[in-house]
Amino acid sequence: MSPKVSRRNFLKKSTAAGMGAALISHMAVENVMAQTPAPPGSLPVVISSVNGLEAVKKAFEMIKGGSDPLDAVIAGVNIVEDDPNDMTVGYGGLPNEDGEVELDASCMHGPTCRAGSVGALKFIKNPSTVAKLIMDRSNRIMLVGEGALKFALAHGFKKENLLTDKSRELWLKWKDNLSTHDDWEPPHDKEGNPITHGTINCNAVDARGNIAGVNSTSGMAFKVAGRVGDSPIIGAGLYVDNEVGAAGSTGHGEANIKVVGAHTVVEFMRDGASPEEACVRTLKRIVEMQKKAPKWWGELQNVAYYAINKRGQFGAAAIYGETRYAIATREGVRRLECAYLFKKPAGAN
């Protein structure tokens, strides 16, 4: 029988034996950005999807006032979650096939390497806040469905009807036109584009280089009940590494999950790519995977990434053009055009 080895002695021996290899490995992947001081006045920076103009403004002001970047981006996203006119997030979000609003969200705190997320959460309009609560009040990362709701109620959240008259009207219109020959075909907006999915992603880096991010969504419109997309999946819809940067996504969640998109963007940045370049390279992976997918998978739908690095450099890219994002810097709050792979085809979302 082998002699017993205490856990402490095992760790000491393992650490000593692996010290040289670990040091070499660390040096090999050392993040240059983390060693390069940010240009004077370039921080803080907050980036978001196009629906987050008020969110980046709120988060930027909070960070300038000394708030933690995660508290700031969640406060910003709460504005959009509370807005009944944004039918892709929170209150007023478009429901699932049964007419029930199911929300997903995730958050990550770079300085402490913590994360929290919720999936298929009903009756609570601020899933991003619940995700942070899971991060702060438990040693778990993801809660879903009834479990997520019970957790929220136990911590003082109140049940609310999240279905507005406007979102109910669209759901009823969809039900009236539902066909046995389509795949839960969604309604279309005034421009003829299908209303399928929408999300808010918001990431920030403060003046000290600390990074945080959050994603929140009501998911694909009229989805199969219980469907969860990429938004609450750490590494897919959101990823933060305090030594590198943060990235998040909006758009077709299933396509993004397959490439673990947000994590992939951050890893490209770790290897030296700019935020925009990292987003573009990850989108190209989606396109290549789509080419190999069976025909029933459907047309290539839009996906967009929003990224920021530790130095305050930022960028965004989408599969299709005419996609924008929101940014807040010391130069002001504004919307910018995403880089893109293809011009927007007729009927593309």
Catalytically active residues are 199
As beta bridge partners, residue 106 has 117, 215
- Peptide bond before 84: cis, by omega within 30 degrees of 0? no
- Report how far residue 16's alpha carbon sits from residue 224's, in angstroms, rounded to the nearest whole number: 53
> Is residue 31 within 8 Å of 244, Cβ to Cβ?
yes
Output the CA–CA distances (angstroms, integers) from residue 182 to 174, 177, 178, 185, 345, in the order listed.
12, 10, 8, 6, 21
Query: Encoding tokens for residue 223?
Result: 């989805």
- Report how far residue 249's alpha carbon sits from residue 292's, in angstroms, rounded to the nearest whole number: 22
- Report how far residue 188's alpha carbon sits from residue 193's, in angstroms, rounded to the nearest whole number: 5
- Count the Cβ atoms, other than its own, within 10 Å of residue 180: 4
Exposed (0-12), middle (13-18) or buried (19+): which is 173, by Cβ within 10 Å? Answer: exposed
In the three-class reduction of DSSP (H, G, I as helix; E, B as strand; rest coil), residue 200 is classed as strand
Return the H-helix or E-strand segment holding 258: helix 253-258
> How many whole angstroms from its chain centre is CA 122?
19
* Long-range Cβ contacts of 162-165 (<8 Å, 24+ apart): 162/90, 162/91, 162/92, 162/93, 162/101, 162/103, 162/122, 162/123, 162/125, 163/92, 163/95, 163/99, 163/100, 163/101, 164/84, 164/91, 164/92
- Report how far residue 237's alpha carbon sits from residue 282's, in angstroms, rounded to the nearest whole number: 13
